[in-house]
Amino acid sequence: MKGTHLGEFEEIVLLTVGILYEDAYGLAITDEIENRTGRSITISSVHKALNRLEAKGFLTSKMGGATEERGGRQKRLFSLTAYGKNALNEAKELRNSMYSAIPKVLWQQG
């Protein structure tokens, strides 16, 4: 069993799969991340992360329709598993709880 720890990039990919909902496949995810974060990322790193997340059980996938746009090749459509959604929630809650633990005075100091 691979570790369940979620890396930063993995978390972003997982979130993006959620955002794209029905149309989450490699290139679309890459585009979405680039748009939202403004980072330039390579498509292979996204594929690698997807691959890993699926192996860890956060994602599930099915092969989607082949379009002419893709030279007749199928796309792999990803969706979050219950475990994946859970992991996102946990990550969010961890973040929130840690954020709220920061003393208010810190923000006032500017």
Partners of residue 5 on adjacent β-strands: none
Give the binding range for another protein (CB under 8 A) out of 14-22, 41-49, 83-91, 97-105: 41-49
Q: 3, 38, 71, 103: which one contacts another protein (CB under 8 A)?
A: 71
Least distance CB 95 / another protein (angstroms)? 28
Q: How far apart are CA 13 and CA 44, in angstroms?
A: 13
Strands 59-63 and 76-80: antiparallel
Q: Which two tokens stand for residue 83?
A: 């475990």
Binding site for another protein (CB under 8 A): 25-27, 30, 42-45, 47-48, 51-52, 63, 66, 68-71, 73-76
